[in-house]
Structure 1
Amino acid sequence: MTEQNDPRFATTLARGLSVLRAFRVTDEGLSNAEIAQRTGLPKSTVSRLTFTLGELGYLVQSPRDDRFRPGPTLVAVGHVAATSLSFLVPAHDLMQRLAEESGTLVVLAVRDGDKMVLIRTWRPTRVASIWLEVGQRIPLQPFSSWRAFIAAATPAEIERIAAEHLPDPESLDALLVGRPQALADMALQGFVSTPAGSGMSAAYNAVSVPFRSSNLAEPVVFTCGALPAEAPIKRMETDVGPRLAAAVRTLERLTGQAPGLVRMEA
């Protein structure tokens, strides 16, 4: 039985949360029509949801342009959630140092349905880095972040993802077919890599390492990315990848977390 068919599943709540997830860091507010386009919900449904979320303080509506923005209640909830991720405190210095030393953009991504969402970025100060921002979503494709996630996910976690009836099950199947190679790469070198041009439209070289926090139900992924002109894939794999793997192992020791990679099943 899927969650949507389970009588305990609150469809209205799920739709309200999808409205909140529609917002991105770069947005200057969203109209009901834009929210409807991003969520796939009817505009009439979105209007009722944004009104309710506004009454509860999760959204605010500007009197100048009628566009909705995150409200104080949502900001407070997000602050509590971010504070609960205690590993972010020691991760900051480790990943900023890595960004500076490697000249790459370092990001932290978590899964949200069929996307990986960036929740933190660390940029080198003296190098032009690729343009990825907090809130940006990475589609379900064989990018390094997804490969690292699939390598670290347990069979039960993978089964839960498959049961969500994602819009593009073929892409998940392709990732699962590549899971043994991702596990082998992690075992051999401590990271997975993806060169520019892989997947749908990756314009940058990337290396990724999973991290498992006791505060979260699934692994998260740290990734270093750079344009090919700034960091050829060979340097990413021989220099940046080992640096990222070492940084994540240090983070595991500092936070007392178990390694993010599970053993390959027989």
Structure 2
Amino acid sequence: MTEPNDPRFATTLARGLSVLRAFRVTDDGLSNAEIAQRTGLPKSTVSRLTFTLGQLGYLVQSPRDDRFRPGPTLVAVGHVAAASLSFLVPAHELMQRLAEETGTLVVLAVRDGDKLVLIRTWRPTRVASIWLEVGQRIPLQPFSSWRAFIAAARPGEIGRIAAERLPGRDALQALLDDRPQALADMALQGFISTPAGSGMTAAYNAVSVPFRSGNLAEPVVFTCGALPAEASVERMETEVGPRLAAAVRTLERLTGQASGPVRMEA
């Protein structure tokens, strides 16, 4: 974990938050050793942090297996954070309808360091879809979601991200080099597309559109994804992409966040 030299930076707090960020939806609890492995922190430091977080209710330790799990305080904080994102209310109906009518999985992702984390998913009820869950993380690669995020990020935001010294700096630079093309794609068609097989591990066809909320300091990204057997690249680009772009534009109008096409800013 990179620790800035700014004297205002609270290192212990940052380490405690990195412990909380180590948990994933698919985990059935984590041991101190597993948390240390995921965070890169010494096990002795992790033991002190998990004890403190447990005392405060952010983690609970099961007497059955001594593994830590998110506690009631963390759950409450998460609900407060989700409630503050007012655009999620109108987004739910729009994106669920989009999932049903296109037969694709629709997800909403926000940046967390060098990953985009899924915070909402909408599944079609009668169609098998790709299996992605809330909490899953999209690595820093030239997928449509990351390309859309970088396209929508303002120069000051890009500078801040670059200053974070994230892992995978080569991947970030490749995305920055691709930004003019991503902006051109957004201007031409209103969405960004990534076929299966693109980037490192993309196993599904995807289209993405960024969205800016007045509640957040950075853009978020809506993505529709489907296995190639369920939706061809042509269908994703001629049908699903335009419908996702229209849904996001509707969401902008409903929330008063309409910003028009994504443009390069000086």
The CA distance in 2 between the partners of 1:118 and 1:36, in whole Å, is: 23
Q: Which residue of 1 aligns with 2:123?
A: 123
Indicate if the aligned counterparts of 1:58 and 1:74 stay in contact, CA closer than 8 A: yes
Q: Which one-letter code corresponds to 2:200 in the other structure?
A: M
Q: Which residue of 2 aligns with 1:263?
A: 263
C-alpha distance after superposition, 1:18-58 (max 9, x if no partner): 00011111111111111111111111111110000000110
Greater displacement, 96-105 / 254-263:
254-263
The CA distance in 2 between the partners of 1:259 and 1:35, in whole Å, is: 41
Indicate if the aligned counterparts of 1:154 and 1:262 stay in contact, CA closer than 8 A: no
Indicate if the aligned counterparts of 1:108 and 1:223 stay in contact, CA closer than 8 A: yes
The CA distance in 2 between the partners of 1:160 and 1:258, in whole Å, is: 24
Q: Alignment partner of 1:209: what SS?
A: strand
The CA distance in 2 between the partners of 1:93 and 1:192, in whole Å, is: 22
The CA distance in 2 between the partners of 1:55 and 1:260, in whole Å, is: 48
The CA distance in 2 between the partners of 1:58 and 1:216, in whole Å, is: 24
Indicate if the aligned counterparts of 1:211 and 1:260 stay in contact, CA closer than 8 A: no
The CA distance in 2 between the partners of 1:175 and 1:263, in whole Å, is: 16
Alignment TM-score, normalising by the size of structure 1: 0.98
Greater displacement, 241-250 / 38-47:
38-47
Q: Which residue of 2 aligns with 1:248?
A: 248
Q: Which residue of 2 aligns with 1:211?
A: 211
Alignment TM-score, normalising by the size of structure 2: 0.98
Q: How many residues align?
A: 265
Q: Does residue 1:93 correspond to 2:93, yes or no?
A: yes
Gaps of 5+ in 1: none
State the shift of 1:260 in Å. 7.2
Indicate if the aligned counterparts of 1:212 and 1:260 stay in contact, CA closer than 8 A: no
In structure 2, the CA distance between the partners of 1:261 and 1:10, relative to structure 1 (3 Å rule), is: farther
Indicate if the aligned counterparts of 1:219 and 1:260 stay in contact, CA closer than 8 A: no
The CA distance in 2 between the partners of 1:173 and 1:107, in whole Å, is: 25
Indicate if the aligned counterparts of 2:154 and 2:265 stay in contact, CA closer than 8 A: no
State the shift of 1:261 in Å. 5.1
Q: Alignment partner of 1:5: what SS?
A: coil
Q: Which residue of 2 aligns with 1:114?
A: 114
The CA distance in 1 between the partners of 2:193 and 2:243, in whole Å, is: 13
Q: Alignment partner of 1:4: what SS?
A: coil
The CA distance in 1 between the partners of 2:260 and 2:11, in whole Å, is: 33
Q: Which one-letter code corresponds to 1:132 in the other structure?
A: L
The CA distance in 1 between the partners of 2:261 and 2:176, in whole Å, is: 15
C-alpha distance after superposition, 1:164-200 (max 9, x if no partner): 0011111110000100000000001000000000111
The CA distance in 2 between the partners of 1:55 and 1:170, in whole Å, is: 40
Indicate if the aligned counterparts of 1:62 and 1:68 stay in contact, CA closer than 8 A: yes
In structure 2, the CA distance between the partners of 1:40 and 1:182, relative to structure 1 (3 Å rule), is: same
Q: Which residue of 2 aligns with 1:133?
A: 133
The CA distance in 1 between the partners of 2:11 and 2:260, in whole Å, is: 33
Aligned-residue identity in percent: 90
Q: Does residue 1:71 correspond to 2:64, yes or no?
A: no
The CA distance in 2 between the partners of 1:169 and 1:261, in whole Å, is: 28
Q: Which one-letter code corresponds to 2:67 in the other structure?
A: R
Q: Which one-letter code corresponds to 1:95 in the other structure?
A: M
